[in-house]
Chain A
Amino acid sequence: MSETLTPATTVASAPVSLWRRGLNNLVTGLAVGAVILVLLPLGAIFGYLVYKGIGSINWAFLTQTPKPVGEAGGGMANAIAGSALILLIASLVGVPIGIGAGIYLAEYGRNRLGNLVRFTADVLNGVPSIVIGIVAYGLVVLTQGHFSALAGGVALAIMMIPTITRTTEEMLLLVPHAVREAAYGLGVSRWRTTLSITLRTATSGVITGVMLAFARVAGETAPLLFTAFGNQFWNWKLNQPTAALSLQIFTYAISPFDEWHRQAWAGALILIVLIVAAVSAVRIAASHGTLKGAN
């Protein structure tokens, strides 16, 4: 809706009964109440994260590995690095496949197979993350014989693909057909047109999709429980159990130790700052047009 419509209550010539006006005001009040009730937990969550987390973030937290139970201090450096590693693997696997499938749907997919892929991507999008974890366990952990960063990355990649596919398709379809025809008319081949003209024009939208998929999986815990598994120490090997920020927050949150609770809040604050920064950057870039694509 672009303009606000004027209801009858403000039109002098239409007398509105007290009951109807009262009901209207009541509903307006209820809607405002709903907004407040929804914003309340949001405010409370962010407020608590900052209030509880900020005091515990210090140099040691960002550079050290966890201390054994009972010892104060220590940090989540290995978990932050582990998360970065897992997300890197997820992006390397998920982004090309997702964008490729999106290109297929937009440029070649006006047929029955395209519809099937579209439908399947939507189905995949709705699969609970814990189920993806089971599948990645069966595919990677069982064949490798280890919990590993690779398995975690594969699980997250599976979750990224449908989001990226559907946004890429949507964005490519926004590029006017005349643009493609202009390129064809100049003798540019089809694949070159797709990559250098169509995809390039839709760059900002595609990046938005990738960032949203990234933000969605960055905090995922359930699929990592039995793929990356977690680790109290540094690990850079792809075939070994690896710590992740979200896993560490989970382990610490359900532990009985105050020191660990404190660190869980700190880790959560770092995680949320990263995610909100990613989402806001995309939002601002999309609305102010700094990511306008080609030219």
Chain B
Amino acid sequence: MVNRALGAPRLTGPQPPDKPELAVQARAQAEPLIKAGDSHLADGVFSVAMLGCALCVLALVGLIVYELVTKSSLSWHASGWRFFFRSEWDPVNDQFGALPFIYGTIVSSILALIIAVPLAVGVAVFITEMSPPWLRGPLAFTTELLAAIPSVIYGLWAIFVLVPLLRLYVEPWLARYLGWTGLFEGTPFGIGMLAAGVILAIMIIPIISSITREVMTAVPNHQREAVLALGATRWEMIRTGVLRNARAGILGGVILGLGRALGETMAVTMVIGNRPEIARSLFAPGYTMASVIANEFTEATGDVYLSALVEVGLALFIVTIIVNILAQFLVWTVTRGTPARANV
């Protein structure tokens, strides 16, 4: 989504000649282009080559589905649907249940959304509606810089900065004041579900915020003017004139962020603790679908073990595809009709 924020390049093309002598001149300039292969055969070859590239894209997705389905069939035949509802993961005895990973993926992603959505929407509201014009560009660029940081660097930073911070300050505080909820009990290790949720939140803020910005910019200005003309304050204008009109698109951005969080691997693997168990407390270590593949794929010894990991991958693939399609549909309902790159 970063590319949306880049300005449209200025287009300078040859202008159509309006006088006969200019046409002759232009014709003379175009001579080398005309000579360089003016045949139906060349045209045909070119269009087929481009079609081939386009079909490659289709073939790739086909290949992904084919690979995942065939390589996971062994595990599917061994466990069937039970694979997704069992919680023991015991490679030694060839017992595989993906429930702890599904649980970890869902909980860490939802936690990330709870933290990220208000912040991302706040940033988007500030940039589009409140910020002085000169600050808009730099702010948008800076938040998008967050999207350019590789996952492994987030993980590195989380291990050495975020986790100690959580262990020493945040988690004891949460345990003291919110411990009664049962979500924040046990020893504050730092490493665990909470750390994964926080680092995921930081990682998905740019995507949610840039989509929110895009759909808010797509709201026509006369909506704002109409509300302001009724004497609204700026917040009332944003709430009734902008957010209400853009809500489907914002939801789309949030779901797109969810898709990113579900599939995120490295940073989560580095801080979640990697233990396949289901605990109520967010301080406890967990495991996600992506992390278990990352950690165990190269070490998987048995055929069923490898197949079970691929099946986890297949499940992750299906879920993220559904989530992404839903998100794109929602964003499209708001931004359709507006020129794709008229914003920034």
Min Cβ gap B48→A in Å is 10
Q: Knowing A220-B150, A268-B156 touch, does A131 contact B316 (C-beta < 8 A)? A: yes
Chain A residues with CB below 8 A from B61, complex form = 120, 123-124
Q: How far is the CA of A133 from the CA of B265 in the complex (A)?
A: 11
Contact of B145 among A42, A103, A167 (CB under 8 A): A42
Q: Is the CB of A8 within 8 A of B233?
A: yes
Query: A138 an interface residue at 8 Å Cβ cutoff?
Result: yes
Q: Which of A5-37 contact B (CB under 8 A)?
A: 5-9, 14, 16, 20-21, 23-24, 27-28, 30-35, 37
Considering the chains assembled together, what is the distance between the CA atoms of A267 and B122 in angstroms?
34
| In the complex, A50 has a CB within 8 A of chain B | no
Q: B residues within 8 A CB of A101?
A: 50, 53-54, 56-57
Whole-angstrom distance between the alpha carbons of A170 and B221 in the complex? 25
Q: A115 to chain B: closest CB distance in Å?
A: 11
Other-chain residue from B37, B148, B313 in contact with A189 (beta carbon distance below 8 A): B37
- The stretch of B81-89, B91-99, B157-165, B170-178 in contact with A is B157-165
Contact call B54/A104, Cβ cutoff below 8 A: yes
Given A20-B236, A116-B58: A4 touches B37 (CB 8 Å cut-off): no
Asked if A183 lies at the interface with its beta carbon under 8 angstroms from chain B, I say: yes
| Shortest distance between the CB of B147 and any CB in chain A (Å) | 9
Residues in A with CB closer than 8 Å to B142 are: 39, 42
Measured in the bound complex, the distance between the Cα atoms of B14 and A215 in whole Å is 33
Cβ-defined contact, B324 with A123, below 8 A: yes
Contacts A35-B139, A191-B37; is A222 near B9 (CB within 8 Å)?
Answer: no
Closest to A206 in B: B9
| A294-B60 contact in complex given A122-B324, A212-B3, A229-B298, C-beta closer than 8 Å | no
A interface residues, how many (CB within 8 angstroms): 135
The docked-state distance in angstroms from the alpha carbon of A116 to that of B37 is: 31
With beta carbons under 8 angstroms apart, the residue of A31, A120, A283, A292 that contacts B130 is A31
* Cα-based distance from A158 to B290 in the complex (angstroms): 18
User: Which of A39, A109, A129, A189 has a CB less than 8 Å from the CB of B38?
Assistant: A189
Bound form: Cα–Cα A284–B238 in Å: 31
A38 CB–B CB distance under 8 Å: yes
CA of A199 to CA of B287 in the docked complex: distance in angstroms?
A: 47
> Can you identify 24 A-B contacts, CB atoms within 8 angstroms?
A5-B224, A7-B232, A20-B236, A27-B238, A30-B122, A49-B153, A117-B54, A120-B57, A121-B57, A123-B61, A126-B321, A126-B324, A130-B265, A130-B293, A130-B316, A135-B68, A171-B9, A186-B26, A191-B42, A208-B6, A221-B151, A221-B266, A253-B156, A293-B12
Q: Which 10 A-B pairs have the closest CB atoms?
A: A219-B150, A128-B263, A34-B122, A100-B53, A191-B46, A126-B324, A7-B234, A179-B13, A104-B54, A222-B265
> Apart from A116-B58, A126-B321, A250-B155, what 16 extra A-B contacts exist at CB < 8 Å?
A23-B233, A35-B126, A38-B119, A38-B120, A108-B51, A133-B293, A135-B63, A161-B60, A183-B30, A212-B2, A222-B266, A225-B297, A250-B266, A264-B156, A276-B145, A295-B13
Chain A residues packing against B (C-beta within 8 Å): 1, 4-9, 14, 16, 20-21, 23-24, 27-28, 30-35, 37-39, 41-42, 44-45, 48-49, 52, 96-101, 103-105, 107-109, 113-114, 116-117, 120-135, 137-139, 158, 161-163, 165, 167, 170-171, 174-176, 178-179, 181-183, 185-192, 194-197, 201-202, 204-205, 208-209, 212, 215-216, 218-222, 225-226, 229, 246, 249-250, 253-254, 261, 264-265, 268, 271-272, 275-276, 279, 282-283, 286-287, 289, 291-295
